[in-house]
């Protein structure tokens, strides 16, 4: 029986709480904004008045028994899950909970190497061992693709003791693996399937889009409601399938999640869930139409290539998320990050990211046709003003890693700091990545090669925002002492 998706238990409880005019002798100390007038002026009295602490009428995220519990049931119903958890540490905390719940120290987890850093961070904390399935590379676009079923089966047969398989659904660029096939294959060998759906919220509400993890039978899925679902930044859902023990998973969540959950984030999840449950189909049809319109216009400029479902090969690109406006820039003679910088600095347009060969403009229900037209005309002008020969450009952003040590052993092991260009042959003891997209170029435990160092220097030279190492200038890297 479906629940009444018009209901918003957390939001409604906060509305009632405001009317009750309770005198606060609890935290937070700003006391509904009266103690921090500058912040109240910035955020507004309405916002500050509901930045409140857990209490009986508002329930408690660590142990929900009333309005939060009811809101969880509504979210699970909306997403077709057996259980849903409200997460206030971003989808990072959802991804890490999945890994912690599936794998203990020393146990194996199979994953593509083009995962978000949150998944590898989870391995550092848990002591689980990654078994990487290297994705195919699209040589024309220079991007990593999905997991091929044949590669996954080979990896499973070589590692029958692995506990779980983690899959991106979709990647940042919109590439989908055959998640239904992956679920069937993993379950046949007794492994859990964990889906990172940071970029796939909309799959649950539009039948024209690729299959969602819950519909495919996955055991857990981490869903970024704040990306395409309309909630506030840092709010996320963790969805569970029928076979998962929700009480155990809640214990795992409570190991790391705050005991002072923000009701701004919780209510934003509640309201956004209602909106998607009632209007999601219409919302995401509009997003698809806007993205299609943008692709058609961009592809008429020349040299740019806004790619879509024509790339599908039913294997490493099993399906494609057509809401993603991914654009290859290499034939303009510019790295994606250069186009990204030009759009922001010269045209006042902030897109999601640029890497070595691509840009991603995130399209949502908040966009309008005139916004798309401004982006298209800016891209046309950038081509006219800045186009140059493609010669000498790197054409890919992914290199298969050589794993020499587990992420945990490498991260916590004895290390020494070396100038970055003197580290070839050493084992890396920290992360190096461009952010976004937050997929590590180097992760702890991986061998440093000349190709990787050349890539890092190239990316820095093009203006990629590099993060990860202790050295904020990215001039030195920590390597494992004695491992060369």
Span 319-372, pLDDT tens digits: 999 999 999 999 999 999 999 999 999 999 999 999 889 999 999 988 999 999
Q: Residue 265: what pLDDT?
A: 98
State the Cα–Cα distance between residues 251 and 235, nearest whole angstrom: 19
Is residue 402 situated within a structural domain? no
Is residue 13 situated within a structural domain? no
CATH number, domain containing residue 304: 3.90.1150.10
322 and 432 belong to one structural domain: no
225 and 294 belong to one structural domain: no
88 and 233 belong to one structural domain: yes
236 and 116 belong to one structural domain: yes
216 and 161 belong to one structural domain: yes
**Domain span including residue 141:** 64-262
Domain limit, last residue, from 232, 262, 292: 262
CATH number, domain containing residue 416: 3.90.105.10
Q: Residue 246: what pLDDT?
A: 98
Q: Among residues 144, 211, 206, 130, which one has the least CA distance to residue 175?
A: 144
Is residue 9 situated within a structural domain? no
Phi-psi group of 257: left, alpha or beta (phi > 0 → left; psi -120 to 50 → alpha; rest → beta): beta
pTM of the prediction? 0.95
State the Cα–Cα distance between residues 45 and 357, nearest whole angstrom: 45
Domain limit, last residue, from 230, 262, 294: 262
Q: What pLDDT, in 10s, does the model give residues 229-239?
A: 999 999 999 99
**What are the CA-CA distances from residue 428 to residues 54, 108, 184, 401, 484 (Å)?**
43, 21, 35, 11, 10
In the chain, the number of structural domains is 3
Q: Residue 271: what pLDDT?
A: 98
256 and 286 belong to one structural domain: no
Segments of the chain scoring below 50 in pLDDT: none
145 and 235 belong to one structural domain: yes
- CA-atom Rg of the chain in angstroms: 23
Is residue 303 situated within a structural domain? yes
Q: Residue 433: what pLDDT?
A: 84
208 and 113 belong to one structural domain: yes
Q: Residue 397: what pLDDT?
A: 60
CATH number, domain containing residue 241: 3.40.640.10
92 and 228 belong to one structural domain: yes
Is residue 131 situated within a structural domain? yes
Domain limit, last residue, from 331, 357, 386: 386
Is residue 273 situated within a structural domain? no
89 and 130 belong to one structural domain: yes
User: Tokens representing 442?
Assistant: 């180097």
**What are the CA-CA distances from residue 69 to residues 74, 83, 416 (Å)?**
9, 10, 48
296 and 435 belong to one structural domain: no
Is residue 394 situated within a structural domain? no
Is residue 5 situated within a structural domain? no
Q: What pLDDT, in 10s, does the model give residues 30-65?
A: 999 999 999 999 999 999 999 999 999 999 999 999
176 and 221 belong to one structural domain: yes
Q: What pLDDT, in 10s, does the model give residues 380-419?
A: 999 999 999 886 777 666 667 888 999 999 999 999 999 9
């Amino acid at each position: 029986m479906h629940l009444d998706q018009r209901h918003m238990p957390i939001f409604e409880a906060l509305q009632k709480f405001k009317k009750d005019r309770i005198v606060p002798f609890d935290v937070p100390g700003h006391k509904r904004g009266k103690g921090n007038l500058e912040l109240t002026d910035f955020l507004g009295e309405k916002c500050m008045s509901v930045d409140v602490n857990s209490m009986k009428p508002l329930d408690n995220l660590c142990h929900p028994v009333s309005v939060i519990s009811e809101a969880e049931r509504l979210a699970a119903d909306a997403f077709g899950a057996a259980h849903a958890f409200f997460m206030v540490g971003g989808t990072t905390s959802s991804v890490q909970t999945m890994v912690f719940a599936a794998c203990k120290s020393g146990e194996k987890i199979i994953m593509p190497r083009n995962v978000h850093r949150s998944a590898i961070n989870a391995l550092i904390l848990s002591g689980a061992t990654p078994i990487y399935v290297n994705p195919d590379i699209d040589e024309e676009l220079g991007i990593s693709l999905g997991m091929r079923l044949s590669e996954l089966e080979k990896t499973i047969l070589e590692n029958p003791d692995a506990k779980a398989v983690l899959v991106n659904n979709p990647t940042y660029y919109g590439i989908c693996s055959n998640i239904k096939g992956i679920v069937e294959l993993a379950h046949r060998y007794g492994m859990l399937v964990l889906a990172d759906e940071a970029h796939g919220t909309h799959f649950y509400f539009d039948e024209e889009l690729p299959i969602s993890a819950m519909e495919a039978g996955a055991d857990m899925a981490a869903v970024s409601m704040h990306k395409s679902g309309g909630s506030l930044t840092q709010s996320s859902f963790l969805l569970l399938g029928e076979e998962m023990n929700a009480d155990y998973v809640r214990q795992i969540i409570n190991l790391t999640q705050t005991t002072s959950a923000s009701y701004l984030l919780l209510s934003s999840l509640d309201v956004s869930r209602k909106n998607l449950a009632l209007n999601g189909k219409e919302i995401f049809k509009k997003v698809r139409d806007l993205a299609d319109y943008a692709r058609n216009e961009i592809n008429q400029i020349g040299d740019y290539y806004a790619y879509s479902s024509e790339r599908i090969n039913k294997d490493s690109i099993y399906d494609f998320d057509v809401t993603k406006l991914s654009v290859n820039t290499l034939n303009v003679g510019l790295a994606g990050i250069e186009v990204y910088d030009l759009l922001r600095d010269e045209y006042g347009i902030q897109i999601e990211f640029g890497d070595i060969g691509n840009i991603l403009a995130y399209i949502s229900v908040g966009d309008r046709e005139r916004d798309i037209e401004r982006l298209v005309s800016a891209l046309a002008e950038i081509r006219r003003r800045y186009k140059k020969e493609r010669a000498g450009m790197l054409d890919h952003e992914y290199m298969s890693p050589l794993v020499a040590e587990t992420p945990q052993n490498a991260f916590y092991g004895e290390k020494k700091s070396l100038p970055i260009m003197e580290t070839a042959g050493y084992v890396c003891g920290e992360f190096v990545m461009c952010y976004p997209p937050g997929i590590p170029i180097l992760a702890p435990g991986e061998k440093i090669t000349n190709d990787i160092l050349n890539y890092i220097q190239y990316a820095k030279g093009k203006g990629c925002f590099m993060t990860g190492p202790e050295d904020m200038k990215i001039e030195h890297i920590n390597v494992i002492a004695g491992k060369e």
